[in-house]
Structure 1
Amino acid sequence: MEKIIRNKLYKEFIEPTKQRKNFIGIEIEVPIINLNKKPVDFDIVHKITDNFKKEFSDFSPNGIDYDGNTFSLKNPNNSDIVCYDCSYNNIEFAMGREKDLFTINNRFIEYYNYVKEEFEKYNYTLTGMGINPYRRYNKEIPIPSERYLMLYHHLKSFNKYNDIPMHFHNYPGYGMFSSASQVQLDVHYNDLIKTINTFTKIEPIKAILFSNSVLMDENKHLTCFRDALWEYSTHGINPHNIGMYDVDFEDIDDILNYLETLNIYCVMRDGAYINFETINLLEYFNKDSIKGDIYDKKGYRQIEIKPNINDIDYLRAFKFINLTFRGTVEFRSVCTQPISDTMSVAAFHLGLKEKIDELHEFISKDRVIFHKGYTASELRKLLIQDEIPSFINKKKLCELTNNILNIAKDGLNKRGLGEEIFLKPLYNRVKYHTNPGKEMIKSLHDGIKIEKIIKDYGGV
């Protein structure tokens, strides 16, 4: 059975990377904010969704909830999707794959401006923050659909795991108020090992550049609280399912070995999700049967199923760097950015991918943050705080970060499309020793109203 599992993992995650492509995919999650300091009215959300469908007639529904409301629209011509993520408190712009960032940016700005203007008619707005600053006003109600009800059911089940030596936070609905900016890049089979190993080592630098999820009124010293939301949830029961890789991969077998260490927590049968206590993949397939919960539109009931090799299709890891079934590498550790800086995330990753050999050689020789007794994971946890640890030389850290940006710029220059312009806000962050999360903390400390920050971070 283990050979069958391994072959399936190879076919799903590794085989697709052997095709030579060079596309970019971007997903941008954005919080919806009711400036009246009341819960987001979902009826207003549904009206705006209908208006969007009329304005952009190429889009058609591809997700309808149990109440008959559209939660996802797709344009079949370019594969753009405008949808709601986890709840109707978050909107997501999942841009269809393209060869250049300008094409993606132009379409994103068009969609974003339209939706924002529609919301402003009701004294609502959109903004570029990784945690909704008005989360405490909202109702944490998942989209009544198969996937999101299952996901919330899973995250709420942390009380079942009494025998696990870990601390759980009290935010099982965090998917309804946290937002990310995710990038998917085509990475060829021959570059997989170096790409994963190298990008893992620069996660601490990404924390410095991109942190933008401050939990208002709590943990205000953390500029990227999103990391903790994933780590201390039921997704983090097996730490291999979240966060960073604490190992260097030597070959494809090492990647497959790692995939075999992941946990699985849901599958589908006859179009319905079944959620069960998270369990290691190999252990799952060693079971004759598994007991889980299934939702039948009235509530959850228990069901027993037999593991099937195709259940690997529902293996979901939430690593900072993920292999996907599409043959892409997904980078998912970055918070949603101020909207005017949105493309900086993709530009950074794309440029470095183009210069992966140079980046690998450069970061391998680093002595500014590495070889100080800390792993990359530990360094990221230190660098998502608003104060740089004293053992790190701040001037040298800025030089290190600037040099990595220069490598990304060279990679974009190599493409010859002018995309390096999108890195400009990152150079400014290095110059002024800041990032959006730090800037938000400082602004609040200086007495600037959160409403002004919301407006500034939401501007194009």
Structure 2
Amino acid sequence: MIGKELIRNKLYNEFIKPTNQKKNFIGIEIEIPIVNLDKKAVDFNIVHKITEKFKNQYSDFKSDGIDYDGNIFSLKNPETDDIVCYDCSYNNIEFAMGKEKDLFTINERFCDYYSFVKESFEQYNHTLTGMGINPYRQYNLNQPIPSERYLMLYHHLKSFKNYQNLPMRFHNYPEYGMFSSASQVQLDVHKDNLIQTINVFSKLEPIKALLFSNSVLLGEDNDLTCFRDILWEYSTHGVNPHNIGMYNVDFKDISELQSYLESLNMYCVMRDGAYINFPSMNLLEYFQKDYVRGEIYCKGNYREIDVKPMLSDIKYLRPFKFINLTFRGTVEFRSVCTQPIKDSMCVAAFHLGLKDKLDDLEEIITTDDVLYHQGYTATELRKILIHDELPSFLNQKDLCNLTKEIVDLASLGLQERGIGEETFLNPLYARIKNHANPASEIKKLISKGVNLEKIIRDYGNLDMVV
């Protein structure tokens, strides 16, 4: 049994203390669906060939992850910390760009890697596209990458049938990590601004739903524009609702944030290089136990094993909130779907531009009566705004004006950086003007009879390099 004070101190050292450093870097991770245009499963042999081709083309990249079959699933450049890897399965490629101080540097390298990989796939009638849900997911083999992390994750997600008498329902897509894709941003945030950053940005989630939604579950649930929210909330990650979604509280200070961290659940640890899954449980409960019964993967099967909790297990705490604290002293924004590829930098530009405009942003939200202060929480508003139709209490024109005011503030924040990064916000102004987002545009095009393959190709085109 480990005392609460030791746990609290460990949480502080892992999550809060790193924010004492004054840095100002940007990190971007973009997950992108791979699509077989023959309407067949993505050919993993082709994926492995292209991985090797990329490694030969970009000789600074070194193997950083090899699966149980001997295939590379992650490559890393030690000079830039750029990582090109596969996320959850070989149906989903990820470009995790090393930290930089400006978006242009990141964009240049991303465009270079993306163009090479996409052109390589197109030689085999495969392609990449900028959608939050793989539009050809029904054809794919939903198999996790045979590695410790991804086998553990899939095993956890498949365990939903083991949870009984919970005040929630589960969807039937435990493989959703293999067909859903996100655009994530990490920003350095100093401890002095940490609480305000989480409080204010949490309230922005409804606006972000309007601007960035891009995950339609084609053929199954066409009503939602950001089905990714549902996939996370109604999975085993959502057994404890504090582990996913929004915070739904305004933190007064760091102590309250620490208490929130104590309310999170754990579901895995690692021993001797192997992951051990166990039923999702509150971390304080976990550390009060002498032993926890879990399951470990061994030679194709799972067997039961008892694990003794150790304080160092805090590093396996894996919340998937819209806004996450990381061990690196960054705040990770992870609620946004992958965007049409030509617009990829607009996500980071939006968050970066607002990061140092917290007082102004808070003033906009505090005084607004178009969206906020109408009897709904920010979480409820987000759930409303990922649907097609606006409810009667919302006026579309007024909502667009509010959204533009926020994007204008982001633009001002970028202008004050003096680099010209505000140009990356142009796609958002177009969306506001057209009362649209990428998901609603997909649905509109399909309703007009536009071929899905054309949409896939258009959303994957990198025809605007800023």
Q: What TM-score do you get using the length of structure 1 for normalisation?
A: 0.99
Query: 1:159-308 maps to which residues of 2 (within 5 A)?
Result: 159-308=161-310
**1:269-320 superposed Cα distances (whole Å, 9 cap, x missing partner):** 0111000000001011111110000011321111001110000000000000
Q: Distance in 2 between matches of 1:69 and 1:335?
A: 28
The 3-state SS of whatever aligns with 1:91 is strand
**1:85-113 superposed Cα distances (whole Å, 9 cap, x missing partner):** 00000000000000000000000000000
Query: 1:284-363 maps to which residues of 2 (within 5 A)?
Result: 284-363=286-365
Using the TM superposition, give the Cα deviation of residue 126 of structure 1 relative to its aligned residue in structure 2, in angstroms. 0.2
**1:50-79 superposed Cα distances (whole Å, 9 cap, x missing partner):** 000000000010100000000000000000
Q: Distance in 2 between matches of 1:271 and 1:171?
A: 28
Using the TM superposition, give the Cα deviation of residue 390 of structure 1 relative to its aligned residue in structure 2, in angstroms. 1.4
2:385 equivalent in structure 1: 383
Using the TM superposition, give the Cα deviation of residue 80 of structure 1 relative to its aligned residue in structure 2, in angstroms. 0.1
1:6 equivalent in structure 2: 8
Instruction: Output the amino acid matched with 1:54.
Output: N
Using the TM superposition, give the Cα deviation of residue 219 of structure 1 relative to its aligned residue in structure 2, in angstroms. 1.2
Name segments (4+ residues, structure 1) moved above 6 Å: none
The 3-state SS of whatever aligns with 2:399 is helix
1:34 aligns with 2:33: no
CA contact (8 A) 1:354 1:412 kept: no
1:19 aligns with 2:59: no
Instruction: Output the amino acid matched with 1:44.
Output: I
Instruction: Output the amino acid matched with 2:277.
Output: N
2:395 equivalent in structure 1: 393
Q: Distance in 2 between matches of 1:365 and 1:299?
A: 57
Q: Distance in 2 between matches of 1:126 and 1:390?
A: 38
Q: Distance in 2 between matches of 1:181 and 1:381?
A: 19
The count of residues paired between Structure 1 and Structure 2 equals 460
Q: Distance in 2 between matches of 1:167 and 1:340?
A: 37
Q: Distance in 2 between matches of 1:273 and 1:93?
A: 25
CA contact (8 A) 1:105 1:343 kept: yes
Bigger drift between 427-436 and 363-372 goes to: 363-372
Using the TM superposition, give the Cα deviation of residue 162 of structure 1 relative to its aligned residue in structure 2, in angstroms. 1.8
Q: Distance in 1 between matches of 2:300 and 2:172?
A: 26
Which of 22, 39, 57 aligns to 1:55? It is: 57
Instruction: Output the amino acid matched with 2:194.
Output: L
Q: What TM-score do you get using the length of structure 2 for normalisation?
A: 0.98
Instruction: Output the amino acid matched with 1:434.
Output: A
1:138 equivalent in structure 2: 140
Q: Distance in 1 between matches of 2:422 and 2:444?
A: 29
1:428 aligns with 2:430: yes
Instruction: Output the amino acid matched with 1:113.
Output: S
The 3-state SS of whatever aligns with 2:413 is helix
Is there any run of 5+ residues in structure 2 with no aligned partner, and where? Answer: none
Q: Distance in 1 between matches of 2:321 and 2:147?
A: 24
Using the TM superposition, give the Cα deviation of residue 212 of structure 1 relative to its aligned residue in structure 2, in angstroms. 0.1
Using the TM superposition, give the Cα deviation of residue 182 of structure 1 relative to its aligned residue in structure 2, in angstroms. 0.0
The 3-state SS of whatever aligns with 1:68 is coil
**1:166-190 superposed Cα distances (whole Å, 9 cap, x missing partner):** 1100000000000000000000000
Is there any run of 5+ residues in structure 1 with no aligned partner, and where? Answer: none
Q: Distance in 1 between matches of 2:206 and 2:61?
A: 39
Instruction: Output the amino acid matched with 1:256.
Output: Q
Q: Distance in 2 between matches of 1:163 and 1:201?
A: 31
Using the TM superposition, give the Cα deviation of residue 370 of structure 1 relative to its aligned residue in structure 2, in angstroms. 1.1
Using the TM superposition, give the Cα deviation of residue 361 of structure 1 relative to its aligned residue in structure 2, in angstroms. 1.6
The 3-state SS of whatever aligns with 2:427 is helix
Q: Percent identity?
A: 70
CA contact (8 A) 1:157 1:234 kept: yes
Instruction: Output the amino acid matched with 1:430.
Output: I
Using the TM superposition, give the Cα deviation of residue 165 of structure 1 relative to its aligned residue in structure 2, in angstroms. 2.4
Bigger drift between 18-27 and 157-166 goes to: 157-166
1:77 aligns with 2:79: yes
Q: Distance in 1 between matches of 2:376 and 2:359?
A: 24
